[in-house]
Each structure stands twice: as C-alpha cells, then as structure tokens.
C-alpha cells in the first residue's frame, strides 16, 4: 500500500495509531482506508470516526514494521511491541547533574542584555550559569543563618 504523501506513514487496516483530535492525542485502531480518509475505532470509548490521514500523529504498527525490517521476529509480535509505550532509548538533552526547577524571574532589561553580550563575547558561560552561581553564593550565606534561627526556634518548644 502506498504511503500517504503528507505524513509518510504506511497506514494499513488493523494498525495501532495515535491520532490528534481537537488538540488531544487518542489511541485508536485503523478499521479501513478510503481515499483521503481513514476509519478508526478509539480504544478509550470504542467509538468510530472517519479522519484525514494528517490527523494520524504516530503509527505504532508502522514503526514496529520498520524496526523489524530484518525479520528478526514474527510480524504480529513486532506489531504488539510497537503498541507499547515509548522505547527505552534515551533521547533529548542529558539530565542535569543536580536537580533543577524552572523559575520565572524579572530582570532589568539592561542587565539581561549586558549578560547576553558577555556570553556572546565568551566572558561568561551563559546567563543561566551567572544567575545560578549568584544564587548558590547567596544560599551559602543564608543557609547557616537560617539553620541557627530554626534551631533557636525549635529549642523554645
């Protein structure tokens, strides 16, 4: 069967897919393919719907077929594997050495631009590194003071 030209997926009946419907990704099984539409049955509620090929985000069965292109296991087994959750291969940015949290901080525009120019010139590693170094230094000053205050406060109980 020819691949759909926009999605480059080899959609076939009985394939397990993830389709985006009204901004939400839902898992489904392809029942039939007719021209520019695909008839699917959603796994969560069993309803059926006709979708355009472009609504199919991922075809787990097609991925399993591609992964099993050397025929190292039966096609049915490969398809079952493709339906499971994402693989174990690590992707994306490596995890930070220390756990971090995202924070929104309002910084004077002139200061932010100065730090950006300094990073571009190689004077500092990055704006983030400068902010973290400053906050780590401030925390090192505050930590013993807070520990002392908390120890004095718990002694009154």
**Which of 26-35, 76-85, 86-95 has the lowest average pLDDT?**
76-85
Count other Cβ atoms within 10 Å, centred on residue 125.
12
- CA nearest neighbour of 16 among 34, 37, 38, 1: 38
Q: 44 or 110: whose pLDDT is higher?
A: 110
**Which of 13-22, 89-98, 121-130 has the lowest average pLDDT?**
89-98
Q: Rounded distance, CA 52 to CA 11, Å?
A: 12
pLDDT value for 47: 92
- Output the average pLDDT for the chain: 82
Q: How many residues in total does the chain contain? A: 157
Answer whether 67's CB lies under 8 Å from 77's CB. no
**Which of 16-30, 82-96, 107-121 has the lowest average pLDDT?**
82-96
Give ∠ CA 62-5-84 in degrees, rounded to 5.
20
Q: Rounded distance, CA 79 to CA 61, Å?
A: 5
Q: Rounded distance, CA 22 to CA 19, Å?
A: 10
SS3 state at 130: helix
Residue 48 is inside which H or E element, if any? strand 48-52
What domains appear along the chain, each with residue ranges and CATH number?
Answer: 16-83 (2.30.30.40), 109-155 (no CATH)
Count other Cβ atoms within 10 Å, centred on residue 9.
19
Q: Within 13 Å of residue 46, how many CA atoms lie on the same side as its CB? A: 0
Tell me the per-residue pLDDT of 21-67, one tens digit each, with 9 for 90 and over: 888 889 999 999 988 889 999 998 999 999 988 888 888 887 777 76
pLDDT surpasses 90 at 101: no
């Amino acid at each position: 069967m020819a691949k759909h030209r926009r999605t480059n997926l080899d959609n076939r009946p009985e394939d397990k897919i993830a389709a985006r419907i009204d901004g939400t990704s839902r898992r489904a099984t392809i029942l039939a393919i007719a021209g520019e539409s695909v008839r699917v049955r959603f796994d969560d509620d069993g309803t059926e719907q006709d979708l355009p090929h472009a609504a199919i985000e991922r075809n787990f069965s097609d991925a399993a077929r591609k992964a099993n292109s050397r025929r190292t296991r039966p096609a049915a087994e490969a398809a079952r594997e493709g339906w499971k959750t994402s693989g174990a291969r690590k992707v994306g940015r490596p995890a930070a050495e220390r756990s971090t949290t995202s924070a929104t901080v309002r910084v004077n525009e002139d200061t932010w631009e100065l730090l950006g120019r300094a990073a571009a010139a190689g004077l500092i590693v990055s704006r983030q590194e400068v902010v973290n170094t400053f906050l780590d230094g401030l925390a090192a000053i505050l930590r013993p003071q807070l520990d002392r205050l908390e120890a004095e406060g718990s002694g009154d109980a």
